[in-house]
């Protein structure tokens, strides 16, 4: 098992325990919980088990919780009746309890607002009659299988994101995260592989970012000026790990600058491995480049606390050692990025943050995919 060296245990607390501000929100430390879909919300309603799941991690030292993806109020937004929704009286009442419990435990929390777009399959719940929709009706592999969005479709989805954000502020959340990563709807507009439109929403990187920009602007207008808006994005997609939105920093800036101007307060830059440089000629990772290009706070994520094994192999039970945090701490001391989001390691060990902040690395539980179903 690989652990952080003893010399770095004290600096882990020093580096990671610093507060950080995102617009009007002060996060008590630099550790975030990454969003992870669990499908434990029948009818789209988060129950008491979901309340306990998030509150337990907040009580154990996670500064900022980003919830699992939650469907916005559009019929084509999702593909499962067990994934939580962020619309509907019963669903929002459940989420209000989650936010209250996380605050009582000393944490902060934002919901991740989600529309899966062309990832949806015909006949799936929660609204079986709804078609899959996307910028051009194309799936990640280039196959057809849904509907190219009309202007009305676009306006309806933008409105759904804005309504969900307003609801989040109303029921007590600390901000929102917009899911623009991993090949879901917003990302399908950003990526040339799925966006073949010839109108104002397709073409060069700036045009492909127009849909995301309009969502951000609508969300910004629907909430208070100090309410944080976080935007998550990635180069890679589901089943297309080599896909890239941008081949150069200049291309990346063309995409991110309009989003920052529209009202994004922080970017959550998703990589499979956070330590991998994003562009030739620099050691900066994707979050590092994001912060440099936009001047906005950035959250890094990608196999934090794991051993560096392949992303998929970890889910198959391989690569389960506890990874060193030395590289992460080096980068955070240089202010390459501002927060680190922890996913599978925190799912495995709810007390991961407490142990890391206290330098108790020898107590960290290694990731074991086979045991996760028993965890809460």
Q: How does pLDDT run across 17-53, given as a tens digit for each residue?
A: 999 999 999 999 999 999 999 999 999 999 999 999 9
59-68 residue pLDDT tens: 999 999 999 9
Looking at residue 318, its pLDDT comes to 42
Q: Are residues 345 and 321 in contact, defined by beta-carbon separation less than 8 angstroms? A: no
Looking at residue 370, its pLDDT comes to 61
Of the CA atoms within 13 Å of residue 9, those in its CB half-sphere come to: 12
- 3-class DSSP state of 159: helix
pLDDT of residue 2 exceeding 70, the answer is: no
pLDDT of residue 6 exceeding 60, the answer is: no
Higher pLDDT, 118 or 9: 118
> What's the chain's average pLDDT?
91
pLDDT of residue 277 exceeding 90, the answer is: yes
Span 340-348, mean pLDDT?
89
Looking at residue 10, its pLDDT comes to 83
Looking at residue 8, its pLDDT comes to 57
Active site residues: 184
Looking at residue 253, its pLDDT comes to 98
Higher pLDDT, 222 or 368: 222
- Strand pairing report for 339-342 and 25-27: unpaired
User: Which of 118-132, 191-205, 308-322 comes out lowest in average pLDDT?
Assistant: 308-322
Q: How confident is the model at residue 317 (pLDDT cuts 50, 70, 90)?
A: very low
Contacts of 294 (CB under 8 A, 6+ apart): 253, 256, 257, 260, 264, 267
| CATH topology for the 6-374 domain | TIM Barrel (3.20.20)
pLDDT of residue 316 exceeding 70, the answer is: no
pLDDT of residue 374 exceeding 50, the answer is: no
Calculate helix-pair angle for 9-16, 326-333, nearest 10 degrees. 40
Domain residue extents for the chain:
6-374
**Cα separation of 28 and 170, whole Å?**
22
Span 335-340, mean pLDDT?
96
Span 122-136, mean pLDDT?
96
What are phi and psi for residue 31, nearest 5 degrees? Answer: -100, 125
**Cα separation of 37 and 53, whole Å?**
13
Looking at residue 360, its pLDDT comes to 86
Q: Are residues 174 and 109 in contact, defined by beta-carbon separation less than 8 angstroms? A: yes
The sign of the torsion formed by the CA atoms of 94, 176, 218, 300 equals negative
Span 321-335, mean pLDDT?
80
pLDDT of residue 150 exceeding 50, the answer is: yes
Burial 155-193 (b: 16+ CB within 10 A, else e): ebbbbbbbbbbbbbeebebbbbbbbbbbbbbbbbbbbeb
pLDDT of residue 122 exceeding 70, the answer is: yes
Q: pLDDT exceeding 70 applies to what percent of the chain?
A: 90
For the chain, the C-alpha Rg in angstroms (whole number) is: 19
Q: What is the pTM of this model?
A: 0.93
Q: How confident is the model at residue 306 (pLDDT cuts 50, 70, 90)?
A: low
Q: How confident is the model at residue 323 (pLDDT cuts 50, 70, 90)?
A: low
pLDDT of residue 311 exceeding 50, the answer is: no
| 11-15, 155-159, 349-353, range with greatest mean pLDDT | 155-159
pLDDT of residue 375 exceeding 90, the answer is: no
Q: How confident is the model at residue 307 (pLDDT cuts 50, 70, 90)?
A: low
- 3-class DSSP state of 299: strand
DSSP string, 307-357: -S--HHHHHTT-S-SPPP-HHHHHHHHTTS-SEEEE-HHHHH-TTHHHHHH
Higher pLDDT, 320 or 199: 199
Contacts of 302 (CB under 8 A, 6+ apart): 270, 271, 272, 273, 274, 275, 276, 285
Q: pLDDT exceeding 90 applies to what percent of the chain?
A: 81
């Amino acid at each position: 098992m690989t652990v952080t060296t003893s010399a770095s245990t004290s600096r882990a607390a020093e580096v990671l325990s610093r507060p950080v501000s995102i617009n009007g929100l002060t996060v008590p430390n630099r550790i975030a919980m990454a969003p992870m879909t669990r499908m434990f919300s029948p009818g789209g309603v988060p129950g008491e088990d979901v309340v306990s799941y998030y509150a337990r991690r907040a009580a154990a030292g996670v500064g900022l919780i980003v919830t699992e993806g939650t469907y916005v109020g559009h019929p084509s937004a999702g593909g499962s009746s067990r994934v939580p929704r962020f619309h509907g009286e019963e669903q929002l009442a459940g989420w209000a309890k989650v936010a209250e419990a996380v605050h009582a435990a000393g944490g902060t929390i934002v919901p991740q607002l989600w529309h899966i777009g062309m990832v949806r399959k015909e006949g799936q719940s929660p609204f079986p009659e709804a078609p899959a929709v996307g910028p051009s009706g194309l799936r990640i592999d280039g196959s057809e299988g849904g509907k190219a969005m009309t202007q009305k479709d676009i306006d309806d989805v933008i409105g759904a994101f804005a309504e969900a954000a307003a609801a989040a502020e109303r029921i007590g959340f600390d901000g929102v995260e917009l899911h623009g990563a991993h090949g879901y709807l917003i990302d399908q507009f950003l990526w040339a592989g799925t966006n073949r439109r010839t109108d104002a929403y397709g073409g060069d990187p700036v045009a492909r970012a127009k849909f995301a920009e309009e969502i951000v602007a609508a969300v910004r207008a629907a909430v208070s000026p100090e309410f944080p808006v976080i935007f998550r994005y990635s180069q890679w997609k589901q089943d297309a790990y080599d896909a890239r939105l941008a081949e150069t920093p200049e291309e990346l800036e063309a995409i991110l600058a309009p989003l920052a101007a529209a009202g994004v307060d922080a970017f959550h830059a998703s990589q499979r491995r956070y330590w991998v440089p994003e562009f030739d000629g620099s050691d900066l990772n994707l979050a590092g480049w994001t912060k440099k290009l936009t001047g906005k706070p950035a959250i890094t994520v990608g196999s934090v606390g794991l051993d560096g094994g392949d992303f998929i192999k970890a889910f198959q039970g391989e690569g389960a050692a506890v990874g060193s945090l030395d590289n992460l701490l080096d980068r955070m001391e240089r202010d390459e990025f501002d927060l680190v989001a922890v996913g599978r390691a925190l799912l495995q060990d709810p007390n991961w943050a407490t142990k890391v902040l206290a330098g108790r690395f020898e107590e960290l539980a290694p990731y074991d995919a086979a045991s996760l179903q028993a965890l809460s």
